[in-house]
Amino acid sequence: MKAMVLTKTGNVSGNRLELHDRATPEPGPGHALVKIHVCGVCRTDLHVVEGELPGILCPLIPGHQAVGTVVQVGSQVSEVKEGDRVGIAWLQDTCRQCEFCTSGRENLCVRATFTGYQIDGGYAEYAVVPTRFAYPIPPIFSNDEAAPLLCAGIIGYRALRLSGIKPGQRLGLYGFGASAHIAIQIARHWGCQVYVSSLKPEHQELARQLGAVWVGGATEMPPDKLHGSIIFAPAGELVPPALQALDRGGTLALAGIHMSPIPSLNYDRDVFGERVIRSVTANTRQDGLDLLREAAAIPIKPHTVRFPLEEVNRALQELKAGSFQGAAVLTMQ
């Protein structure tokens, strides 16, 4: 099979991924082999490729927003069958036994494994996945539309929940890439007023098109106090102004897996008044199922830009530069 393989981490300007011919993997017990149709390109992939996450072992096939068709199942499989269209997301598997797994918090499992990070992912023609973590894709979505829902959508959805935002309240979004452009559609469906802070004029324009009531610069103070906010950009310097924009009792959710250092905070100005900071760590299976169900009911309309599999380096470079609106999707020939 064709696969884009990371052989050494480093700046994406160096075209880090190489086209290799790999043997097609075999599904073991409880696993399925999926023929990949498309795979989304996520900012987490960028962190993996550039070595900003710990413990990356190369060679590695990145990618964790894959949509495809089950072509073979291993033994002990009942969740899926050949011919099913499924999604492969970031959380690949868990230990199923620790206090987190047994209390509905499997996203915090310390022995969890992750697609395209510790396990070969979706930048390839085929991938294997534990069938417990193979998400059924609602028929309303095309392959391209479904791909960004599998991480950008799921993490945005979990971040919305952890921000504590309620219908009718004011929500702030900092950074307006793939995840934020899905989160705003959910928040608008809930009846929230959404305030967007973003660097790029083209991202600001997309935010207006998607119904933001106010759009400003990255650190510009919104005209109203916010009940909850989410920082999607991996920029720690956004934390103080985001906290200052919160109303008393508001929550700031940090949605990224990696963030630059956070400056020191002034307790009276930034934190006092029972303001809360919460990080977002991976997702549970239930988060994924809930997001896909609600996304289909709305329905969410992701904005996608297509790249051939062989041009994944260009996709990652443009993602880093913020050169496109919405989400990048790799297509298999």
Asked if residue 189 and residue 111 are part of one domain, the reply reads no
Asked if residue 123 and residue 196 are part of one domain, the reply reads no
Q: Check pLDDT > 90 for residue 137.
A: yes
Q: What are the respective helix, strand and coil percentages of the chain, to the nearest 5?
A: 30, 30, 40
Return the CATH number at 21.
Answer: 3.90.180.10
Final residue in a domain of this structure, among 236, 253, 279: 279
Please write the tens of the pLDDT for every residue from 9-45. 999 999 999 999 999 999 999 999 999 999 999 999 9
pTM for this prediction: 0.94
- Over 29-63, what HEC string results? CCEEEEEEEEEEECHHHHHHHCCCCCCCCCCECCC
Q: Which residue matches tokens 């996304």? A: 295
Please write the tens of the pLDDT for every residue from 256-292. 999 999 999 999 999 999 999 999 999 999 999 999 9
What is the β-pairing status of strands 170-174 and 193-197? Answer: parallel
Rounded Cα distance between 171 and 194, Å, is 5
Asked if residue 176 and residue 57 are part of one domain, the reply reads no
Asked if residue 234 and residue 131 are part of one domain, the reply reads no
Q: Are 279 and 302 in contact (CB under 8 A)?
A: no
Going by C-alpha positions, the residue among 53, 247, 289, 3 that lies closest to residue 158 is 289
Rounded average pLDDT over 143-171: 97
- Structural domain of 59: 2-151+283-331
Residue 205's contacts (CB-CB under 8 Å, 6 or more residues apart) are none
Asked if residue 291 and residue 260 are part of one domain, the reply reads no
Q: Check pLDDT > 90 for residue 305.
A: yes
Asked if residue 240 and residue 308 are part of one domain, the reply reads no
**Can you give the pLDDT at residue 199?**
92
Going by C-alpha positions, the residue among 327, 261, 257 that lies closest to residue 116 is 257
Asked if residue 158 and residue 16 are part of one domain, the reply reads no
Asked if residue 11 and residue 109 are part of one domain, the reply reads yes
What is the β-pairing status of strands 126-130 and 31-41? Answer: antiparallel
Going by C-alpha positions, the residue among 268, 269, 194 that lies closest to residue 232 is 194
Q: Which one-letter amino acid corresponds to residue 224?
A: D
**Can you give the pLDDT at residue 95?**
96
Rounded average pLDDT over 131-158: 97
Asked if residue 217 and residue 129 are part of one domain, the reply reads no
pLDDT band at 85 (very low <50, low <70, confident <90, very high): very high
Please write the tens of the pLDDT for every residue from 222-255. 999 999 999 999 999 999 999 999 999 999 999 9
Residues in a beta bridge with 214 = 195
Rounded average pLDDT over 290-317: 97
pLDDT band at 156 (very low <50, low <70, confident <90, very high): very high
Please write the tens of the pLDDT for every residue from 179-226. 999 999 999 999 999 999 999 999 999 999 999 999 999 999 999 999
Domain count, the chain: 2
Final residue in a domain of this structure, among 279, 296, 320: 279
**Can you give the pLDDT at residue 127?**
98
- Sign for the pseudo-dihedral over CA of 252, 167, 152, 292: positive
Overall size of the chain counted in residues: 333
Rounded average pLDDT over 61-72: 98
Rounded Cα distance between 265 and 100, Å, is 31
Final residue in a domain of this structure, among 238, 260, 279: 279
